Amino acid sequence: MTLLALGINHKTAPVSLRERVTFSSDVLDCALDSLLSQPMVQGGVVLSTCNRTELYLSVEQQENLRETLMRWLCDFHGLNEQDVRNSLYWHEDNDAVSHLMRVASGLDSMVLGEPQILGQVKKAFADSTRGHLHVSELERMFQKSFSVAKRIRTETEIGASAVSVAFAACTLARQIFESLSEVTVLLIGAGETIELVARHLREHNVSRMIIANRTQARARALADEVGAEVIGLGDINERLQEADIIISSTASPLPIVGKGMVERALKARRNQPMLLVDIAVPRDVEPEVGKLANAYLYGVDDLQAIIQHNMAQRQAAAVQAETIVAQETREFMAWLRAQSVNETIRDYRSQAEQIRDDLLSKARATLQQGADAESVLQELSWKLTNKLIHAPTKSLQQAARDGDDERLHILRNSLGLD
């Protein structure tokens, strides 16, 4: 059994590729069924966020394993393998465990130490294991990563400074608009990222917020908290002209804001500039919008520079966190190795007990036939001893014939002779 982690993220692939490899909630069960039907795959968890798509797997090793799994990923999404090959990373066993711990702790995020990823990893684990094949080693790896992330949050300052994609979006808005107290902001979506954006904007005294969401009831609680108006996605076309800033983060598979929609809004605004920040993957705003005069479009990749500016105070904490990850990875791999030898120990004990039971049954039968008890006990002890030492004796003899002093030493040690 081998533990694997493979995928793409913001470091290895642009958003144009990442958005084509995402697993939306409505295809996740189908994807897992297909993945687990592969003969070498024993268990799997799919993690798909705006910045990464990763498969965590328990597999049986075989030839061309990497090619087989990459082909499955490309076939499922209808992609050319050459488009994905150079962006795909691959980690096995120790490296896979360490990678998951780093991901769950925010050490591999675009925003170092951002807390949202832990919730996303937990949800991915819950969604992927519900109704699908469970593998104890894979489950234990995820549970361990959750505890490691918690330990890092407790023992380091990795989450001390307020940096996130949401924070970066608000920072960008404040850089372009000197004051937010006189602007209208349209937020599209009502998920966790938009919640964070709305709270950041409220802290900076934005004058007016409008929240557009497919389900207005879901957006109502957030709107009540931050003092915003709620509209439906179908209302965006006629209300877009009111917004100075548009920040969007939905799970829509298709763009919500198109070039024509923005052109009409700009005309109605008499070409007053609009800032559009698209945090979604797949993208919510058509890329062509960025070519319009007075429309300033930024995507998740564009936020990197802002995010880097806020990273300095987390670097020292990250060094400490990496030490924790290395320690916890060693401990988990030691546990994993112990699990593999436990099966061997169980087999060895079962074999010894079977030998004992067979010889004891024969001894009892001999006693019932009236044989001398002392003679029966002597024969039982002699046969039991010979049966138990037979295999180790052959191994010792073979090691001696091979001139393998190291194996001889290991065998003597195992038999309690050294």
Catalytically annotated residues: 50
φ/ψ bin of 113: left (φ > 0), alpha (ψ from -120 to 50), beta (otherwise): left
Q: Tokens 């150079």 label which residue?
A: 86
Give the pair of three-digit tokens for residue 56: 């965590």
φ/ψ bin of 275: left (φ > 0), alpha (ψ from -120 to 50), beta (otherwise): beta
User: Is residue 359 a contact partner of residue 381, using CB atoms and an 8 Å limit?
Assistant: no
- Give the strand pairing for 2-9 and 52-59: antiparallel
String of DSSP letters for 96-141: HHHHHHHHHTTTTSSSTT-SHHHHHHHHHHHHHHTTS---HHHHHH
Cis bond leading into 282, ω under 30°?
Answer: yes
Q: Which residues are 91's β-sheet partners?
A: 5
Alpha carbon distance 112, 254 (integer Å): 29
DSSP 13: S
Q: How many helices (H) and strands (E) does the chain have?
A: 16, 10
Alpha carbon distance 238, 215 (integer Å): 18
